[in-house]
Amino acid sequence: MMNIKVLGISTSPRIKGNSDLLLRRALDGAESAGASTEYVRLPDYKVSPCIECNACYTTGLCKVQDDYQQLLKKMLDADRIIFATPIFFMTVCAQAKMLIDRCQCLWAHKYVLKKELNTAGHDRRAMVIAVGGSRSKKQFESVRLTMESYFDSLQMLYAANLFVNKIDALGDIEKHPSALNEAYRLGSLLAATDSPPPQKSIDIELA
């Protein structure tokens, strides 16, 4: 049986924020399916924004030296990624966006230099967890589009998402057992190796 490595990336600026708690629950689900998991809290790392120098258009590598290179290795080594973000102004939080934008070098590697990552051909899948305070489910639309582009650059299949709205105050998600249960279930499904990749992303939206 393949030993699946699942990387959980928590981008919330709040310690034990709502998206963070759902991520931890999803990682528990992945472990229940036999996966080895790693939890990363993005605010603990120094990741600067993309400076649009376009050096990666020639090298396929990011010129800015900080903790991004360490995180990139983790992302490329992972068989599965669970990416969790709170929703700010109808999209991912600033911390999440900085990491995503730094993956411009992966976009350049694939679409400018026309090269495949070393992970090409591997069964790599990803899931996104997003939690927002707005009542409107329109907040999920830009998150979905952003994450589709991000996972494409990582050459990972966007396998599932768990979006929850009308959750704002710290710890409110703990009063939402269905969201916690879905996080666990999706984490377990993501880590499974006995089923083929889904033909269509599993799309769960809860209120």
d(CA 157, CA 151): 7
pLDDT tier, 31 (very low <50, low <70, confident <90, very high otherwise): very high
Residues above pLDDT 90, as percent of the chain: 88
User: Tens of pLDDT along 68-110?
Assistant: 999 999 999 999 999 999 999 999 999 999 999 999 999 999 9
What integer pLDDT is reported at residue 2 of this predicted model?
67
Residues in the chain, overall count? 207
Name the pTM for this structure. 0.95
Average pLDDT of 130-151? 94
Packing angle, helices 94-102 and 139-153, rounded to 10? 30
**How far is Cα 140 from Cα 168, in angstroms, rounded to an integer?**
15
